Amino acid sequence: MNLEEKRIRTYRYLYNQARILLEKHISPDHFKSEDTYEKVSNALDIGIVAFNRAMREAVSDVRDGVDTSQIWAIIDATSFWEDTTPGRWPHMTEVRAQVLLHWAGSYEAGKPFMQN
């Protein structure tokens, strides 16, 4: 599979995992502000880059005592995908992009991410 095909496949996978995260692992009660969850959900409807930005903003609105590891995990996974955007990083190689896409594709909603 070439890089473009892998990016498309990984995008779809991350989108579906983000939906699962919102439906099963994160709720409006996790946030101080009533509209934060809705903003994040609406951002996902736009795409995973918008979702990434909304999650970065939302993490600062999490209620005290709420574990943020799932939020940071999806931020990391979608950031890995975004970093593979052609032209985004001038020194990005195809080999490095493949590694980042592999990491992004290893994300699974509700499970530890990148922990050994």
Question: Domain range holding 17?
Answer: 3-105
Instruction: Report whether pLDDT(31) > 80.
Output: yes
Per DSSP, what are the bridge partners of residue 62? Answer: 31
- Reference 101, options 92, 109, 112, 110; nearest CA is 92
Residue 116 placed within a domain: no
Residue 112 placed within a domain: no
**Is the separation of the CB atoms in 77 and 107 below 8 Å?**
yes
Mean pLDDT of 38-45: 98
Alpha helices in 1-116 (DSSP H): 3-20, 36-46, 48-58, 69-83, 94-105
d(CA 29, CA 77): 23
Residue 27 placed within a domain: yes
CA 51 to chain centre: 7
What's the total number of domains in the chain? 1
pLDDT in tens, 52-65: 999 999 999 999 99
Residue 114 placed within a domain: no
Share the mean pLDDT of the chain.
Answer: 95
d(CA 2, CA 66): 40
Model's pTM, two decimal places? 0.93
Residue 113 placed within a domain: no
Please state whether 47 falls in left (phi above 0), alpha (psi between -120 and 50) or beta: left
Residue 101 placed within a domain: yes
